[in-house]
Structure 1
Amino acid sequence: MQPGIEWWQKWLNNTPRNEYFQSLRSYLPQLCINPHHGASKSESYKHLVLRGNEINKKEHNNILQLKDQNGFSVRLVEHPCGTYPVIDVEDVNDFLSLVRCLAYRCELKQIQSSVHAQAISGLIHWGLIRETNLIERCQLIILHRSPYSCLPTSVIPGKPTTQEWLEMSQSWRLEHELTHLATKRLAGEMRLNLFDELVADALGMLKALKLFSADLFRQGLGLNNDASTTSTGRVHTYLKGLNENSRKQACIYVLKRAQELEQLIAAGLVPKERMTLLRYLINQKLDQPFTANNWF
Structure 2
Amino acid sequence: MNNSFPLGAVDKRQSTGISEELKAYLFNTFSLNDDITFSAFNDDPEIQFWEESLMKLSNEDVFNMLKEFYPQLNFLIEKETDKLELYNNAVLKGKTNDVSLTAYIKLENAKNISLELHQSAAGRIPVLVIPNKEDFVKILQALIHKNNPVPIPSSMGAVLLNGLNNSKRLNILKKNWQQNNPFGDWNAEFLKNIMPNKSLYKDKLIILSTKPYSNVSASQLGLDEDLWTAYSVSIRKEHEFTHLYTLKKYGQATNNLHDELIADYIGIIKTIWNYNKTWMLTFMGLENYPHYREGARLENYIKEAKLSSDDFKQLITIIKNAIENIAIFDKKVGKLKSTKDQMCRIDALCELSLIDIASENGSELLLEIYYENFHRALF
What is the TM-score when the length of structure 1 is the normalising length?
A: 0.91
Check conservation: 1:228, 1:248, Cα contact below 8 A: no
Q: CA deviation at 1:69?
A: 1.2
Q: CA deviation at 1:168?
A: 1.4
Query: Given the alignment of the two structures, is residue 204 of structure 1 paired with residue 267 of structure 2, yes or no?
Result: yes
Deviations, residues 45-68 of structure 1 (Å, cap 9, x unaligned):
3111111111646x5112111111
The 1:227/1:177 distance shift into structure 2, 3 A limit, reads: farther
Aligned to 1:75: 116
Distance in 1 between residues matched to 2:293 and 2:60, nearest whole Å: 39
Distance in 1 between residues matched to 2:118 and 2:132, nearest whole Å: 21
Distance in 1 between residues matched to 2:113 and 2:278, nearest whole Å: 33
Instruction: Please list every run of 5 or more consecutive structure 1 residues that lacks an aligned counterpart in the other structure.
Output: none
Check conservation: 2:269, 2:336, Cα contact below 8 A: no
Distance in 2 between residues matched to 1:228 and 1:48, nearest whole Å: 48
Q: Which amino acid letter does the alignment assign opposite residue 36 of structure 1?
A: E
Instruction: Please list every run of 5 or more consecutive structure 2 residues that lacks an aligned counterpart in the other structure.
Output: 1-42, 174-193, 374-379
Q: Greater relative contact order: 1 or 2 (C-alpha under 8 angstroms, separation 6 or more)?
A: 2
Aligned to 1:40: 82
Aligned to 1:91: 132
Q: Which moved more, 1:280-289 or 1:241-250?
A: 241-250
* Number of aligned residues: 293
Among candidates 22, 26, 30, match of residue 64 of structure 2: 22
Q: Which moved more, 1:42-51 or 1:255-264?
A: 42-51
Check conservation: 2:94, 2:171, Cα contact below 8 A: no
Among candidates 158, 163, 169, match of residue 117 of structure 1: 158
Q: CA deviation at 1:238?
A: 0.2
Q: CA deviation at 1:155?
A: 4.6
Among candidates 226, 229, 233, match of residue 289 of structure 2: 226
Query: Given the alignment of the two structures, is residue 163 of structure 1 paired with residue 205 of structure 2, yes or no?
Result: no
Query: Given the alignment of the two structures, is residue 151 of structure 1 paired with residue 216 of structure 2, yes or no?
Result: yes
Among candidates 256, 262, 265, match of residue 330 of structure 2: 265
The 1:279/1:267 distance shift into structure 2, 3 A limit, reads: same
Q: Which amino acid letter does the alignment assign opposite residue 78 of structure 1?
A: Q
Aligned to 1:49: 91
> Is the partner of 2:333 in helix, strand or coil?
coil
Check conservation: 2:235, 2:270, Cα contact below 8 A: yes
> Is the partner of 1:293 in helix, strand or coil?
helix
Check conservation: 1:270, 1:277, Cα contact below 8 A: no
Q: CA deviation at 1:225?
A: 3.6
Check conservation: 1:112, 1:233, Cα contact below 8 A: no
Deviations, residues 222-273 of structure 1 (Å, cap 9, x unaligned):
2354355433212221011222233333322122111100011112389773
Q: Which moved more, 1:98-107 or 1:61-70?
A: 98-107
Distance in 2 between residues matched to 1:228 and 1:195, nearest whole Å: 21
What is the TM-score when the length of structure 2 is the normalising length?
A: 0.72
Check conservation: 1:175, 1:200, Cα contact below 8 A: yes
Check conservation: 2:239, 2:266, Cα contact below 8 A: yes
Q: Which moved more, 1:6-15 or 1:129-138?
A: 129-138
Higher-Rg member (1/2): 2
The 1:171/1:40 distance shift into structure 2, 3 A limit, reads: same
Distance in 1 between residues matched to 2:284 and 2:271, nearest whole Å: 17
The 1:55/1:110 distance shift into structure 2, 3 A limit, reads: farther
Q: Which amino acid letter does the alignment assign opposite residue 8 of structure 1?
A: W
Aligned CA RMSD, in angstroms, stands at 2.1
Distance in 1 between residues matched to 2:90 and 2:293, nearest whole Å: 39
The 1:182/1:227 distance shift into structure 2, 3 A limit, reads: farther
The 1:250/1:48 distance shift into structure 2, 3 A limit, reads: farther
Among candidates 142, 145, 148, match of residue 104 of structure 1: 145
> Is the partner of 2:69 in helix, strand or coil?
coil
Matches within 5 A, 1:213-252: 213-242=276-305, 243-244=307-308, 245-252=310-317
Matches within 5 A, 1:175-214: 175-214=238-277
Aligned to 1:280: 348
Q: Which amino acid letter does the alignment assign opposite residue 18 of structure 1?
A: E
Aligned to 1:172: 235
Q: Which amino acid letter does the alignment assign opposite residue 200 of structure 1?
A: A
The 1:87/1:271 distance shift into structure 2, 3 A limit, reads: closer
Identity %: 24
**Superposed structure 1 runs of 4+ greater than 4 Å apart:** 269-272
